[in-house]
Each structure stands twice: as C-alpha cells, then as structure tokens.
C-alpha cells in the first residue's frame, strides 16, 4: 500500500500541489492561513516528502558529504558510523572525504570534491582548532553542519556537552569523599579536551577543592601509561579523571605495576565508554557520549537547511551520561 502523496495533501487542504510544494520549501509567498491548513493536512495524513523526487528538481543527489580526519580514535569513528546509520534511515547515502590533517587546504579540497558530486549537504567533523579557520572560507550557500567544532565560530554546530560530562565525572569522585581530583588531559588543540578541562576545573572550584596541576597527554593508552607512572609515585593522589578511556587503560596498567590498588587506593574515571571499558580491571566508571543523538541532531539541522533554507538553532548540545562501575570508591583513611 502506497503512502500519502503530495496530491493527497493538496486535496485535503483544498489547494494546488504547487502550493503544497511551496509550503514544504518554506516559500515566503504563502498566506499564513494556507500554510497552517497545509501543515495540518500533512500531519493528518502522515505525509513525508519524496526526497528522491526533490533531488531531481534541485539537482542535488541523495548523498551527504562528510569531511573527517583519517583516524581510528573511538569518538570520531563512532560518530561517523552513527551519521551513516542515521542518514540511511532518512534515505541518504554518505560519502566520506578522509583527510590526513584538518587544515584549511585539506578541508577545502575535500569540500570541493563533495560539491563536484552535487551532494545535498556537508557535515564536517571538526574537533581541532586548525579546522575552525578552514570553515570560514567555505562557500556560504552550501548547507553545512559542523560536529564537535569551535563554539566560537558562527557556523551551525552540534556537539557533545564535554563540560557537563567532565563536571559530572569530577563531582562523582568528590562525592565519593576525595579531597581533589587529578586530570590527565587530551591534546591541547582539541575542543573535546578543552571542554573536559573546563568541566573538571569548574567542578573542583564549585566544591572549594584544590585544583592540582594538569597532567597533559595525547589520546593513547601509552600516553596514559606514562602519566600513570608519575601519578603512581605520588601518595597524595587518590582520584584521577582521564580525558578518555584509553588514557584510563594506561593509567590502570601503571597503577597496577606500582602496586596501587584501584579503587581501594586510587579511583579512576574515564570518558567515552568504549566497548571494552566494562571489561577493564576493574570495570571502568566513565562518561558515555550519545553519538546517535549527535548524528540525529546534525542530520536534522542539515535537512532543515537544504529543504527549507532555514538554519534553525545554530547550536545544539547533547548531554552525555555517567556510567558507574567498579573503579571508584572512598579514599583510604
């Protein structure tokens, strides 16, 4: 059985199919009363626009172009998979333009390749500072959404609330009784890292706790291991929040080698909730970003742009969730 067509909407609303098309495309030359009548008919019938037909009219394909760094890091890789799944649910394919570096030249070239194939819109996964400048030089008439990009730039952005996630992780450790929390951070040029530092520091200051020196790292377990070797030799350290779960894995290994028991002597919280986190020793308490919700919000923002020309909210922030396991306990007396 076929679903409702545009002609069915037109018949129910008492208008022409051209008027229905204008309402769907956000055309300004439609009387408000007529617009409301058409929208009511759409809702009553459960009509969904035929995007394939619209692609023939607009000249755009049913493909969304994604620009992403060529990386196996869990966060970006999970986000890309979620984007592909969400796009498929809406009848779109995803074409990925992988770049080695997220700089102006690389991003611009990837976008131009997408535009040459007349993609419907573009999503740029832009988690580092160098990507921000490149976005300012992209064509202004291209439907575009950035994910985990620079919150200070005037482009449509969807991001995980890194600050809130880090704040909750740090507060969880403080509420367990720890006097302060040490933070093993991610790379300095990543917005994710900066947000997690901000949330960690905010939680400590709000609790009146001492803010210890930052322990800088990259995203790897090896880097976490090196930081863990230092922290393991410091008896005053009883709680550690790491910027991702791979850093936590390295820290746990170092603590084990130095005989510092987790969580009896030191508590550890990570970020990302990688699939292996539940099988660390001990199972890791961590912060879980909702990559599916980020992908959904990104696609909704993109669809709004190339279907009606309306951008809508320029900023959408998706809250993560604290997942409690067995790596946190009260500090030793």
Tell me the per-residue pLDDT of 188-217, one tens digit each, with 9 for 90 and over.
Answer: 999 999 999 999 999 999 999 999 999 999
Question: Which residue segments constitute the domains of the chain, with CATH numbers given?
Answer: 6-49 (1.10.260.40), 58-159+291-318 (3.40.50.2300), 162-289 (3.40.50.2300)
29 compared with 286, residue with greater pLDDT: 286
* Stretch among 57-71, 167-181, 185-199, 268-282 having the lowest mean pLDDT: 57-71
The confidence score (pLDDT) of residue 3 equals: 65
Residue 144: helix, strand or coil by DSSP?
strand
Whole-structure pTM value: 0.79
276 compared with 131, residue with greater pLDDT: 276
Angle at 278 between CA 276 and CA 279, to 5 degrees: 65
- Output the 3-class SS for 269-311: ECCCCCHHHHHCCCCCEEEECCHHHHHHHHHHHHHHHHHHCCC
Tell me the per-residue pLDDT of 233-261, one tens digit each, with 9 for 90 and over.
Answer: 999 999 999 999 999 999 999 999 999 99
Tell me the per-residue pLDDT of 55-102, one tens digit each, with 9 for 90 and over.
Answer: 444 556 788 989 888 778 888 889 989 999 988 888 888 988 888 887
β pairing state of 286-288 and 321-323: antiparallel
Angle at 218 between CA 213 and CA 224, to 5 degrees: 70
Say if CB 291 and CB 302 are below 8 A apart.
no
The confidence score (pLDDT) of residue 1 equals: 47
Residue 50: helix, strand or coil by DSSP?
coil
The confidence score (pLDDT) of residue 276 equals: 96
Q: Which of 199, 197, 148, 154 is nearest to 172 (CA)?
A: 199
């Amino acid at each position: 059985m076929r679903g409702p067509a545009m002609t069915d909407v037109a018949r129910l609303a008492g208008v022409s199919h051209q008027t229905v098309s204008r309402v769907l495309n956000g055309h300004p030359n439609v009387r408000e009363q007529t617009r409301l009548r058409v929208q009511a008919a759409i809702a009553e019938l459960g009509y969904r626009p035929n995007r394939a037909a619209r692609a023939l009219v607009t000249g755009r394909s049913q493909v969304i172009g994604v620009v992403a760094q060529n990386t196996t890091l869990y966060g970006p890789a999970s986000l890309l998979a979620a984007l592909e799944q969400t796009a498929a649910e809406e009848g779109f394919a995803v074409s990925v333009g992988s770049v080695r570096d997220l700089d102006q030249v690389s991003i611009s070239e990837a976008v131009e390749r997408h535009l040459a194939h007349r993609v419907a819109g573009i999503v740029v996964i832009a988690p580092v500072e160098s990507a921000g400048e490149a976005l300012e030089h992209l064509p202004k008439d291209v439907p575009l959404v950035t994910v985990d990009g620079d919150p200070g730039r005037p482009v449509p952005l969807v991001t995980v609330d890194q600050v809130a996630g880090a704040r909750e992780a740090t507060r969880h450790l403080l509420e367990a009784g720890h006097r302060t929390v040490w933070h093993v951070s991610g790379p300095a040029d990543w917005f994710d890292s900066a947000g997690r530092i901000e949330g960690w520091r905010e939680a400590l200051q709000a609790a009146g706790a001492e803010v210890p020196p930052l322990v800088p790292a990259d995203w790897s377990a090896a880097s976490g291991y090196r930081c863990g070797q230092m922290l393991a030799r410091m008896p005053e350290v009883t709680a550690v929040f790491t910027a991702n779960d791979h850093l936590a894995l390295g820290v746990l290994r170092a603590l084990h080698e130095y005989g510092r028991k987790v969580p009896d002597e030191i508590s550890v919280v990570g970020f990302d909730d990688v699939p292996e986190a539940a099988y660390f020793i001990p199972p890791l308490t961590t912060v879980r970003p909702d990559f599916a919700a980020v992908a959904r919000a990104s696609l909704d923002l993109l669809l709004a742009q190339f279907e009606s020309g309306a951008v809508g909210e320029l900023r959408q922030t998706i809250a993560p969730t604290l997942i409690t396991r067995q790596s946190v306990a009260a500090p030793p007396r």
